[in-house]
């Protein structure tokens, strides 16, 4: 059978891995797809690198637009990244009737609604398994494997850089800055790690998962985003003493009032499997009404793990290449005319439990003053950890864990607590999730 011809845009880490794995496993992949899949052209600004990797096995060009207009190309793989030229190239490929495979979570989270509509109108597919959690097949699981379920919530460690940093802080007692330097030295963090450490990368990914889970359009601009750069090593230590671990989680939950869409550091009970995911690994926990909790774990980045997802999409697109567009799996899991723009809850309306750390003066009546404020705001205490002041010190750390409360209540309580004369400085607040039923 005639091979499927693929144009590859970008042959960096993931592009190089895709070219290598596709060549190495060509026979196995063809047996799965029903026909050979071959990369016939590669576009990259670095022609020297492209020629080195391809070794004359396909055409190489520095003009990506010529690839998306090439009548011989059936599928375009976009691995350039970013919002600018990548969007132009993807929309041009779709307009030219080509299927697209992409790992570009930022592009889909911000422009996915436009891209999927264009693909639907043209009758082509946009596949994006590699956009979330690298080699972990979470897109297929949510979109297809759990199709019988009303998905209730998703919580995921979906950024390996931040998970590595938090693991280093916990295991070695490092401060955030030192752990970040370790991550950069080992290649887990970029020279400019802002997107990772401030939670933006994870927010792109949870936006995609939320849309697939609940049948809504992409609403990245409404996500609440908080990173890990302000985390203190002592909070990781105190959390451990209370039976918790701190993870940067992307969380989306269906509620009667709307959808929660948020990224932030989170205390998770140490007994949960997801709390024990260490290093640069990813894990996504999905709660469905029929199946219960399912956990997906694996490498969230890297050349060949991400290439695994890219090539899985190539196989899917090849299998369905000639299928009636109406009988393909919908891009957004739900039929296009069945998407509902559910409201995204403002963070002030989200309900969670909280970890509060206060620096207080070591004198009688301190706890009574603080608990009085919490009681006024109808916030109850679940657990407490009181550290003795060091020798010659007159201040101590007080850690409180609260029961479930609305965020606006805790904000009001913190504002009042910080004004108490017995409280020194700002209150540290970290949200908590049980991640049980």
- Quick count: other Cβ atoms within 10 Å of Cβ 177? 10
Residues 60-88 as b or e (16 or more Cβ within 10 Å = b): bbeebeebbebeebbbbbbbbbeeeebbe
The encoded tokens of residue 89 equal 């190239």
> Which is nearest to 429 in space by CA: 437, 421, 405?
405
The encoded tokens of residue 68 equal 């998306």
Distance between CA atoms of residues 55 and 345, nearest Å: 52
Distance between CA atoms of residues 240 and 234, nearest Å: 10
Largest CA distance in the chain: 83
Catalytic residue among 140, 205, 247, 299: 205
Distance between CA atoms of residues 36 and 17, nearest Å: 18
The encoded tokens of residue 374 equal 């919490």
Distance between CA atoms of residues 416 and 29, nearest Å: 62
Residues 263-295 as b or e (16 or more Cβ within 10 Å = b): bbbbbbbeebebbebbebbbbbbbbbeeeebee
Residue 256's Cβ-count burial label (10 Å; 0-12, 13-18, 19+) is: exposed
Active-site residue flag, 205: yes
- Catalytic residue list: 205
């Amino acid at each position: 059978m005639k091979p499927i011809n693929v144009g590859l845009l970008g042959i960096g880490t993931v592009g190089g891995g895709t070219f290598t794995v596709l060549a190495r496993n060509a026979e196995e992949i063809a047996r799965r797809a029903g026909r050979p899949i071959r990369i016939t052209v590669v576009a990259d600004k670095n022609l020297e690198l492209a020629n080195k990797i391809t070794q004359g096995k396909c055409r190489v060009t520095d003009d990506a637009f010529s690839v998306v207009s090439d009548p011989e190309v059936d599928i375009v793989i976009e691995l350039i990244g970013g919002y600018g030229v990548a969007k132009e190239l993807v929309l041009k490929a779709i307009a030219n009737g080509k299927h697209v495979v992409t790992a570009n979570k930022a592009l889909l989270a911000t422009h996915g609604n436009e891209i999927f509509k264009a693909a639907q109108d043209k009758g082509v597919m946009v596949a994006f398994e590699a956009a979330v959690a690298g080699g972990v097949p979470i897109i297929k699981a949510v979109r297809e494997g759990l199709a019988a379920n009303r998905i209730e919530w998703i919580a995921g460690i979906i950024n390996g850089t931040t998970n590595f940093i938090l693991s280093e802080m916990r295991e070695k007692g490092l401060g955030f800055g030192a752990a970040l330097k370790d991550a950069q030295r080992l290649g887990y963090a970029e020279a400019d790690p802002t997107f990772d450490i401030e939670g933006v990368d994870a927010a792109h990914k949870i936006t995609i998962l939320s849309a697939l889970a609940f049948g809504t359009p992409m609403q990245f601009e409404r996500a609440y985003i908080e990173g890990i750069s302000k985390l203190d090593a002592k909070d990781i230590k105190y959390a451990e003493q209370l039976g918790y671990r701190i993870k940067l989680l992307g969380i989306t939950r269906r509620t009667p009032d709307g959808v929660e869409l948020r990224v932030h550091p989170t205390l998770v009970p140490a007994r949960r499997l997801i709390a024990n995911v260490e290093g640069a690994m990813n894990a996504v926990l999905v709660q469905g009404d029929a199946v219960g909790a399912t956990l997906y774990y694996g490498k969230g980045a890297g050349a060949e793990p991400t290439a695994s997802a890219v090539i899985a999409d190539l196989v899917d697109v090849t299998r369905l290449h000639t299928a009636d567009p109406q009988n393909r799996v919908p891009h957004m899991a739900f039929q296009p005319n069945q998407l509902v723009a559910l409201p995204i809850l403002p963070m002030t309306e989200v309900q969670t439990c909280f970890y509060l750390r206060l620096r207080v003066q070591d004198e009688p009546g301190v706890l009574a003053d603080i608990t009085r404020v919490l009681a006024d705001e109808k916030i109850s205490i679940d657990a407490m950890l009181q550290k003795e002041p060091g020798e010659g010190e007159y201040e101590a750390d007080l850690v409180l864990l609260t029961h479930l409360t609305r965020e606006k209540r805790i904000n009001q309580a913190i504002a009042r607590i910080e004004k108490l004369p017995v409280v020194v400085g700002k209150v540290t607040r970290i949200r908590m999730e049980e991640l049980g039923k």
